[in-house]
């Protein structure tokens, strides 16, 4: 698992990062919410661990902005505050879980494993990019017109829309969309072709850039 860890206390950040790396995780550690937002928009993670009280941008604001981009990565908040209202604010901002400081490293690791298991099933209902809107519940995309999608088309487009800041290889798309199913890079190319035709049919100002055998990226035109 690759983790984005945002914590402004240097000692705690170093200790937790070292522990998680010892447990086998890949960790990108940053010191404030603004850096966390930039990382989340430019890279892909399995889990986000975010302190609430940070300089430049607090964790709740950063998480809201991350979710506004369509990013659905499971997230855990670390907070020194145990009041119900603070927990509610965090969960409303898009966090999936929280852990109150001080905490045991073993509990943090267990919660991360639980979030990792939940990752495949976490989806925002509505994702937007350019003039394109995807409703994952009704399996429809809308721009100038509306058209329905198959289950696989929804998963593929969701993955592309959640990672608009980076190129995704066919292998990465296979891992995220065709979980434990027989499929290959030709399958990815076939579904990319389906989606391209549907995006054109609804006059979306969004295209899927990339060619067979290369990576793909959602791009506004």
Q: In terms of DSSP H, where are the helices of 23-104?
A: 33-42, 59-68, 84-93
Q: What is the pLDDT of residue 73?
A: 87
Task: Name the CATH topology of 2-121.
Answer: Rossmann fold (3.40.50)
CATH 1.10.10.10: which residues of the chain?
126-220
What is the spatial distance between Cα 50 and Cα 75, in angstroms, rounded to a whole number? 7
| Residue ranges, CATH 3.40.50.2300, the chain | 2-121
What are the φ and ψ backbone dihedral angles of 59, each rounded to 5 degrees? Answer: -65, -35
Taking only the tens of pLDDT, the chain with its 221 residues reads 899 999 999 999 999 999 999 998 999 999 999 999 999 888 888 899 999 999 999 999 999 888 887 788 899 999 877 666 777 787 888 888 889 888 999 999 988 988 876 654 545 578 899 999 998 878 899 999 999 999 889 889 988 988 887 888 998 888 878 866 788 999 999 999 999 999 999 999 999 999 887 899 999 98
- The answer to pTM > 0.85 is no
Half-sphere exposure of 204 (CA within 13 A, CB side): 25
- Does domain 126-220 fall under CATH 1.10.390.10? My reply is no
CA distance 45 to 73: 7
Token pair listed for 82 = 């145990």
């Amino acid at each position: 698992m690759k983790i984005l860890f945002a914590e402004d206390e240097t000692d705690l950040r170093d200790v937790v990062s070292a522990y998680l790396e010892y447990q086998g995780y890949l960790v990108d550690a940053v010191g404030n919410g603004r850096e966390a937002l930039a990382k989340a928009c430019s890279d892909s993670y399995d889990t986000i661990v975010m302190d609430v009280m940070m300089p430049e941008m607090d964790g709740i604001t950063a998480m809201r902005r991350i979710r506004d981009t369509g990013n659905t990565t499971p997230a855990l908040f670390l907070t020194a505050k145990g009041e119900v209202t603070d927990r509610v604010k965090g969960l409303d901002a898009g966090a999936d879980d929280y852990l109150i400081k001080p905490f045991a490293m073993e509990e943090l690791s267990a919660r991360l494993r639980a979030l990792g298991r939940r990752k495949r099933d976490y989806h925002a209902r509505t994702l937007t990019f350019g003039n394109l809107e995807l409703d994952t519940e009704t399996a429809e995309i809308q721009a100038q017109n509306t058209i329905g999608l198959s289950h696989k088309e929804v998963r593929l487009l969701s993955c592309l829309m959640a990672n608009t800041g980076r190129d995704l290889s066919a292998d990465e798309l296979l891992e995220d969309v065709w979980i434990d199913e027989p499929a290959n890079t030709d399958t990815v190319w076939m579904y990319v072709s389906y989606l391209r035709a549907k995006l054109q049919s609804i006059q979306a100002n969004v295209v899927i850039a990339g060619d067979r055998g290369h990576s793909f990226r959602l791009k506004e035109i």
